[in-house]
Amino acid sequence: MRFFTDVWLCYARAVRAVLREPAWIVFGLAQPLFYLYLFGPLLEASGVTRGLPEGTSSWDVFVPGLLVQLVIFSGGFNGFTLLSEMRAGVLERLSVTPVSRLAMLLGRAARDTTIVAAQVAMLIGLAIPLGLHVRPMFAVALLVLLALTVALSCLGYGLALALRSEDALAPVLQGVTIPVLLLSGVLLPLTFAPAWLDNVAQANPLRHTVDAVRALMLGSGSALVGILVTAGLTVLFIAFGTRRFQRTEDVRIA
């Protein structure tokens, strides 16, 4: 019971910090909106719906990948906020309290999940008038997206605690994010790719997550592998983030 109280306290504190500057929730949608309105219309005549059930629009194929992209940038880059807290001495003060390190991590990850859920709702609301269809399995797709948010948030926080510098964290995230995005099929399904590229992309865990979210939102195809991969990533990155939080006896940075 004490653990859940600790998670709630950390979550409430993190949410209050966001509510002081709520505009960032909207600003986080800027890049997905550019893709939605400036790239999405190009898919209308691209044939991406070939072989899919009748009544499927190009938006049904494109938006699921866009949602995963939103999660990647919203969750993975949250380590920068932790670096600011480390520099201000906030994390150093929290580290001497009896709050468990796992609660400190999950409270922040839950805050990030709340923000992503709000952004996903706004993006879906804007995509429906364009032609996106919301099907019954959308709720399951949302759960997969939220699990991925928790995973990537924990990874981002863990990397921030390991590297302890924006100058080190930024190139690591950029160097990993770009190939991961290109090999996950966020913009177009990788079934359109050459065989060699499709085979290489199979090694990318996020490719399976994108496929699962797309299949669930389309109501067509299998999502089991993607769900299992996402669950595995969540457990792995929570363990990694918790391990790094447990080493916060000295969290001061220059």
**pLDDT tens-place string over residues 2-19:** 888 888 888 888 888 777
Q: Give yes or no for residue 95 having a pLDDT over 80.
A: no
Yes or no: say if 204 and 121 are a contact pair by the CB < 8 Å rule. no
Within 10 A of 254 (CB to CB), how many other CB atoms are there?
A: 5
Percent of the chain with pLDDT over 90: 29
- DSSP single-letter state for residue 249: S
CA of 52: how far to CAs of 22, 60, 132, 219, 244, in Å? 39, 10, 14, 10, 44
- Is the distance from CB of 48 to CB of 189 less than 8 angstroms? yes
pLDDT surpasses 80 at 207: yes
Phi, psi of 83 (to 5 degrees): -60, -40
Name the residue with tokens 């699990």: 147
Residue spans per domain, the chain: 2-245
> Given its phi and psi angles, is residue 215 left (phi above 0), alpha (psi -120 to 50 degrees) or beta?
alpha
Q: What are phi and psi of 47, to 5 degrees?
A: 80, 20
CB atoms within 10 A of CB 161: 24
pLDDT at residue number 45 = 66
Residue of 73 and 50 predicted with greater confidence: 73
What integer is the mean pLDDT of 75-104?
77
The predicted pLDDT at position 249 comes to: 54
Q: Which long-range contacts (CB under 8 A, 24 or more apart) does 3-10 make?
A: 3/100, 3/102, 3/103, 6/99, 6/100, 6/103, 6/104, 6/107, 7/103, 7/106, 7/107, 7/110, 8/107, 9/99, 9/103, 9/107, 10/99, 10/103, 10/104, 10/106, 10/107, 10/108
Using pLDDT thresholds of 50, 70 and 90, give the confidence band for residue 236.
very high
For residue 120, the model assigns a pLDDT of 92
Tokens of 24: 């960032």
How much of the chain is helix, strand and coil, in % rounded to 5? 75, 0, 25
Q: How far are the Cα atoms of 40, 41, 157, 245, 246 from residue 103, in angstroms, in the given order?
A: 40, 43, 13, 10, 11
Residue 253 has pLDDT above 80, yes or no: no
Q: How much is the pTM?
A: 0.88
End-to-end CA distance of the chain: give it in Å, rounded: 37
Cα–Cα distance for residue pair 169/81, rounded to 1 Å:
12
Query: How long is the chain?
Result: 254
Q: How confident is the model at residue 96 (pLDDT cuts 50, 70, 90)?
A: low
